[in-house]
A and B are shown apart, each in its own frame.
Chain A
């Protein structure tokens, strides 16, 4: 067991590199970072350079001697976090600033981040809220955002369902298979490309929608028109290119 405590004079930037196991991030008071590592790996780096802290197994590239590591980090709110793992679950219950995660397999569960970039081969991602930008690239795995993304959304997946409660910025989603559900879209532009998944978007009343959709074998379903004399409050451009999925636009 390795345990180290660090003092920082601003938001820390923490990088974790392990092969397999689990990474947990919890809240710490401002100015302190606590690292606890349960590992059998003999050579483990835990070091501080200014406000940057590195937690790394030196055997990152070796797959022959892969051992499981359990890392617990206590961070102040607003910290930056970078994690690179081959196979590990990642959990964080503290609001973070910039989060960059690379994983071959493993589930990810986060509370919130200002910007989140995830590259994953397989594994689900769940995050309550994203403040500025969400980027998710995955071969297989679901994406769930029960809260909102206030900013841009960029998603590319081969398979897996996408479910976002609300997006306020520009949205670009590309999937090979897997359904996409964007329950409330209040941004200006949304683009969807899918091979076999359906796309379901909820758009608020009094939005003028400019639709450009190419559907090879799917169908388009729109809400029944409601007569209104009210001027639109906002405008949204929806572009979709779907091969065999349906495009559904709901009034919310």
Chain B
């Protein structure tokens, strides 16, 4: 991805516009672009970064790496080794529930009705439906990279 070409094009466009106002203004434009170049490059890099993060969040089993080659970013798609494997099928009724956790969730009554209807349409129980939605959501987050949030003492 040739960001440096884009910056050069922008420089050229600014200089062309200012040349109309005279050679001194054209020179001032060159000076101005030299001063603004870091900010322009930084902004373009941040746009690329945001785009990569957004696309990565939609990929199930791949990540996108950004490598800088001669100052320009190069996007590389890799298989994500941290991809979470598909969840095991729910245990049959009456099986050992030692691995299960229970949580109580408070939610608006309209949302409970909506979930109930969606689960019924999908032919699932409410529990199975909610677990599937949460599993997909958690798996999607993992594919964006790694997020570390903790508090510890050194």
Contact = CB atoms under 8 A, between A and B. Distances in A.
B146 interface: yes
B153 A209 contact: yes
Given A61-B28, A196-B68, A213 B147 contact: yes
A195 B66 contact: yes
B37 interface: yes
A114 to B, nearest CB: 25
B151 A62 contact: no
Contact of B38 (A63, A139, A232): A139
Contacts of A159: 68, 71
Contacts, number: 117
Given A61-B28, A211-B152, A216 B52 contact: yes
B38 A207 contact: no
Contacts of A209: 151-154
A56 interface: no
Contacts of B45: 158, 176, 195
B42 A176 contact: yes
Contacts of A203: 154
Contacts of B146: 214-215, 220
A207 B154 CA distance: 6
Interface residues of B, number: 39
A138 interface: yes
Given A61-B28, A139-B41, A177-B71, A212 B35 contact: no
Most interface-central of B67, B147, B152, B153 (chain A CB within 10 A): B153
A156 B38 contact: yes
Interface stretch (A4-12, A41-49, A222-230): A222-230
13 contacts: A62-B27, A157-B38, A159-B68, A176-B68, A177-B71, A205-B154, A208-B153, A211-B150, A212-B149, A216-B65, A216-B144, A217-B78, A249-B154
Given A64-B27, A215-B147, 5 more contacts: A61-B27, A195-B66, A196-B68, A216-B65, A217-B145
Interface of B: 23-24, 27-28, 30-31, 34-35, 37-39, 41-42, 45, 48-49, 52-53, 56, 63-68, 71, 73, 78, 144-154
Interface of A: 61-64, 86, 102, 104, 119, 121, 137-139, 156-159, 174, 176-177, 195-196, 203-217, 220, 222-223, 225-226, 228, 232, 243-244, 249, 251
